[in-house]
């Protein structure tokens, strides 16, 4: 079974990012477009704040790109809230065809993958991928409200308060040259505070399959980035691949390890959430690709496909790893 899909005439043309207080205080804080240090974004509840973030990210994308709303063929959007209500409410005011996604932390890459396939196939000239997560909304849904003061495990990751939007069209500076949809993998991990361990095997499955099928070597890429395994999952990923004869450690990084200062901010195993890889890709990797500081890279969006009910029932966590190949080059 061939899993790599070659893409023609699909480029990331613009990106925007919106973050909260903790993200603005991290090592990448100066590069994000919009920051609200209250984490409320003008809303009354944390869940509504996440929708407000998506609205701001989409509006900022429109302003930066100069696009008219009529130019957008469709929007792919998703978040961590039940039934993706953060996205549906966040994009309610925009008169564009909307397709909701649930890929957990892989949603940004999933949206870019589907946007590239849609544009490459000629079904739309321009698509937009949007996603978000909010620390306080996610904690209340998946674990317990922070007011309870529950102690966090050393393997726990901090859900990023952030949203990003990407425009994908037929011309731009950063080409999406190939994509590889992931396969659902479940290895018996049922600890919601150790998502890195649950997601690492799915990332390893995708990365190993990509190199085996493509004939590439890790040295062919400047960067191989996951989002978001954090420190725990990233270490497991490299060990799993090394045991199969594939060493990516020289090229490897993780969005969850980049967004916070591990010592000063004490985020345990790093960042996570739909917004993590989204804002790091939008404001850190994309600009470097656009100017040629990075020539070629792989981004593997990893997601823990759990729900509140599956966690309550003690079920093991299925995970996914979607891959996109990005290259500097105007088209």
Question: What was the pLDDT predicted at 134?
Answer: 95
Q: Which of 166, 179, 177 is nearest to 13 (CA)?
A: 166
Q: Are strands 11-19 and 127-133 parallel, antiparallel or unpaired?
A: unpaired
Report the top-level CATH class of 174-328.
alpha beta
Per-residue pLDDT tens for 193-251? 888 999 999 999 999 999 999 999 999 999 999 999 999 999 999 999 999 999 999 99
Mean pLDDT of 184-194: 91
Q: Which residues of 181-204 are buried (b: 16+ CB within 10 A; e: fewer)?
A: bbeebeeebeebbbbbbbbbbbbb
Per-residue pLDDT at 312 exceeds 90 = no
Assign 138 a pLDDT band (cuts: 50, 70, 90): confident
Assign 188 a pLDDT band (cuts: 50, 70, 90): very high
Per-residue pLDDT at 22 exceeds 70 = yes
- Residue 330's CB is within 10 A of a number of other CB atoms, namely 10
CA-to-CA separations, 288 to 137, 223, 280, in angstroms, rounded: 31, 11, 11
Q: Are strands 11-19 and 162-169 parallel, antiparallel or unpaired?
A: antiparallel
Domain 9-169 has CATH 3.40.47.40: yes
Question: What was the pLDDT predicted at 330?
Answer: 74
Assign 144 a pLDDT band (cuts: 50, 70, 90): low
Mean pLDDT of 65-94: 95
Torsion of CA 269, 228, 160, 134, to 10 degrees: -120
DSSP string, 22-33: HHHTSTTGGG-S
User: What proportions of the chain, in percent to the nearest 5, are helix, strand and coil?
Assistant: 40, 25, 35
Mean pLDDT of 106-113: 98
Per-residue pLDDT at 149 exceeds 90 = no
Question: What was the pLDDT predicted at 137?
Answer: 86
Q: Is 176 exposed, middle or buried (0-12, 13-18, 19+ CB in 10 A)?
A: buried
> Which residues of the chain are in CATH 3.40.47.40 domains?
9-169, 174-328
Report pTM.
0.95
Percent of the chain with pLDDT over 90: 85
- Of how many residues is the chain composed? 331
């Amino acid at each position: 079974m061939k899993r790599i899909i070659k893409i023609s005439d699909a480029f990331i043309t613009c990106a925007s990012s919106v973050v909260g207080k903790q993200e603005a205080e991290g090592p990448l804080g100066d590069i994000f477009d919009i920051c609200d240090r209250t984490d409320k974004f003008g809303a009354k509840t944390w869940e509504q704040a996440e929708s407000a973030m998506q609205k701001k990210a989409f509006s900022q994308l429109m302003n930066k790109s100069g696009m008219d709303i009529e130019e957008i063929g469709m929007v792919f959007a998703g978040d961590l809230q039940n039934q993706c209500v953060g996205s549906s409410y966040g994009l309610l005011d925009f008169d564009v065809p909307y397709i909701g996604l649930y890929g957990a932390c892989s949603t940004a890459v999933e949206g870019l993958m589907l946007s590239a396939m849609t544009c490459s196939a000629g079904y739309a000239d321009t698509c937009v991928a949007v996603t978000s997560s909010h620390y306080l909304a996610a904690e209340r849904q998946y674990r317990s409200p922070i007011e309870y003061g529950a102690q966090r495990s050393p393997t726990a990751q901090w859900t990023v308060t952030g949203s990003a939007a990407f425009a994908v069209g037929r011309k731009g500076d950063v080409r999406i040259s190939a994509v590889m949809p992931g396969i659902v993998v479940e290895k018996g991990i049922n600890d919601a505070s150790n998502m890195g361990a649950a997601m690492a095997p799915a990332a390893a499955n995708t990365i190993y399959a990509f190199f085996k099928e493509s004939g590439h070597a890790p040295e062919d890429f400047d960067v191989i980035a996951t989002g978001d395994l954090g420190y725990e999952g990233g270490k497991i990923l490299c060990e799993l691949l090394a045991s199969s004869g594939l060493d990516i450690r020289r090229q490897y990084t993780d969005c969850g390890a980049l967004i916070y200062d591990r010592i000063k901010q004490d985020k345990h195993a790093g960042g996570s959430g739909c917004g993590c890889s989204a804002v790091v890709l939008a404001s850190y990797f994309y600009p470097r690709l656009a100017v040629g500081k990075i020539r070629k890279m792989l981004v593997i969006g990893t997601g823990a496909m759990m729900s509140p009910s599956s966690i309550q029932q003690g079920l093991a966590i299925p995970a996914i790893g979607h891959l996109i190949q990005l290259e500097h080059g105007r088209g």
